[in-house]
Amino acid sequence: MTKKYFYIDDCPICSQGLARVRVHVRKQSLTGYILCDECEAAWNDPSLLGRIPRGKEGDASCPDGKTSVWSEHCHWASIEEICLLGWYKDIKAPKDTKLGKAL
């Protein structure tokens, strides 16, 4: 686990990873979700209440339930994408970064 990334919180499932914002971009549409960078538990939003079920093969999947979180259409969210999702107030910054300077 590394805290050099923007994140929501420590993973409440495995306690080893960070719950980080990931995005699925397709046809100029941005869908955000939260993914643990260790155990791949996934949630619909920063509240970490609505879990996203695993796909058919047991792999972590995007909120659409069809796309792997590791597909070419998905990536860790930038600070700009986090702001577009309206989740800026929910993130924690790495210790050596001030949120204002990240923008």
| Alpha helices for 7-102 (secondary structure H) | 79-85, 99-102
Whole-model pTM above 0.85? no
Give residue limits of the domains in the chain. Answer: 9-93
Please tell me the distance from the alpha carbon of residue 52 to that of residue 33, in angstroms, as a whole number. 9
Q: For residue range 6-60, list pLDDT tens digits in order.
A: 899 999 999 999 999 999 988 888 999 999 999 988 898 999 998 887 766 567 7
pLDDT of residue 28: 83
| Per-residue pLDDT at 98 | 58
Judge whether residue 95 has pLDDT over 70.
Answer: no
